[in-house]
A and B are shown apart, each in its own frame.
Chain A
Amino acid sequence: EAAVTQSPRSKVAVTGGKVTLSCHQTNNHDYMYWYRQDTGHGLRLIHYSYVADSTEKGDIPDGYKASRPSQENFSLILELASLSQTAVYFCASSENQDTQYFGPGTRLLVL
């Protein structure tokens, strides 16, 4: 079973502050993804990566940056957090186009 961990599990941030969400996977998957989920809704793709040192924009990249320093690690960065970025953030990994394995999620509250 794929192991994907996220930190922190929850965070309260102030508007305009910088937030970094971290994701770590231990299954040698090349593909990693960041999604956000708003209450009562499905998942929307923010950024993804096929390989270390390279990231791609997803469907809603505005206001977010991503970093993939190694195969195992994928970070999501909010340089200037805004109220509208309050959500639950999920990281996932997959081997090619195979099953995506999700982390436990990070609850972010921006005040």
Chain B
Amino acid sequence: GDKVKQSPSALSLQEGTNSALRCNFSIAATTVQWFLQNPRGSLMNLFYLVPGTKENGRLKSAFDSKESYSTLHIRDAQLEDSGTYFCAAPRGSALGRLHFGAGTQLIVIP
């Protein structure tokens, strides 16, 4: 089964509203990475997390390794936030290799 499950699979947000994306792990994740693939296809790093939280502008991410999940909160959604958000976690001892989730497709509506 999926080692990294993302929810929801798709989401529409009104501009200016808030939402949260979730990533659940069926593996013992020690770190998590969040990426955004914009509508042009470019993949951008958002966060690299050990257990705890990080914030960057309107984005905030939390990672709870004991409960095996991570969240990405988007505050005051803007049109440029549209795209597909991926989370990924390391594959145990396989150095550098990641399990990727299937992604959450976000559309921000004016």
Contacts and interface: CB of A to CB of B under 8 A. Distances in A.
B102 A104 contact: no
A31 B101 CA distance: 21
Interface string A90-111: 1000101111111011000000
Contacts of A42: 86, 100-103
Given A90-B43, A104-B42, A45 B95 contact: no
Contact of A97 (B41, B44, B96, B101): B96
Interface in A36-92: 41-43, 45, 48, 50, 58, 88, 90
B33 interface: yes
A41 B42 CA distance: 14
Nearest to B105: A40
Interface string B78-110: 000000001010100001111011110000000
A4 to B, nearest CB: 10
Interface residues of A, number: 21
A89 B95 CA distance: 21
Interface string B43-65: 11100100000000000000000
B31 interface: yes
Contact of A48 (B42, B88, B97): B97
B62 to A, nearest CB: 17
A58 B97 contact: yes
B6 to A, nearest CB: 9
Interface centre among B86, B96, B101, by most A CB within 10 Å?
B96
A96 B96 contact: yes
A33 interface: yes
A34 to B, nearest CB: 12
Interface of B: 31, 33, 35, 41-45, 48, 86, 88, 90, 95-98, 100-103
> Which 6 residue pairs of A and B lie closest in terms of their CB atoms, listed nearest first?
A102-B43, A99-B48, A31-B96, A42-B100, A42-B102, A43-B100
Interface of A: 31, 33, 41-43, 45, 48, 50, 58, 88, 90, 94, 96-102, 104-105
